[in-house]
Structure 1
Amino acid sequence: MAYRWVYAGGESDAFDDQQEAEEWLSAEFQGLLDKGVDDVTLMTDDEVVYGPMSLHPPE
């Protein structure tokens, strides 16, 4: 089972487990915001694990 983040304009590389995927998001969070990404969805194969999840702080 491979995990990946999907967002407007692209998707991440595949990860072996959810923890690796979440660590990647933590590391790339600001870069995604700087590119104009508003939200991300974590996928495994063709199923949504969770999301879309906003990258912006709650108002």
Structure 2
Amino acid sequence: MTWRWRYENANGGEVTGGSLPREVFPSQSDAESWLGENWRTLLGAGVEQVALLEDERTEYAGMSLRVE
């Protein structure tokens, strides 16, 4: 099993780009810890929300990177 983040715009469309990190994690907690350290960088790169995927299964989606 591998975990990864899918980067999305405000409408849920996937955001891709050469400068965005494509990290793969061995566990959900590793992925979540990484996001906690890197969400500001992603937001600055145009990512508005993320989805967490385990292999191709979506664990959760539509998690905003904006502080409410």
Alignment gaps of 5+ in structure 2: 8-14
User: Aligned Cα RMSD in Å?
Assistant: 1.4
Count of residue pairs brought into register by the alignment? 58
Structure 1 residues 19-30: aligned runs within 5 Å? 19-30=29-40
Alignment gaps of 5+ in structure 1: none
| TM-score, length-scaled by structure 1 | 0.87
Looking at secondary structure, tell me which structure has more strand per residue: 1
Query: Which residue of 2 is the match for residue 44 of structure 1?
Result: 54
Identity rate, percent: 38
Q: Which has the higher contact order (CA 8 A, sep 6+)?
A: 2
Query: Which residue of 2 is the match for residue 9 of structure 1?
Result: 16
Q: What is the Cα deviation at residue 57 of structure 1?
A: 2.1
Counterpart of 2:61, as a letter, is G
Per-residue CA shift, 1:8-36, capped at 9, x if unaligned?
12563110000000011011111001111
Runs of 4+ deviating beyond 3 Å:
none
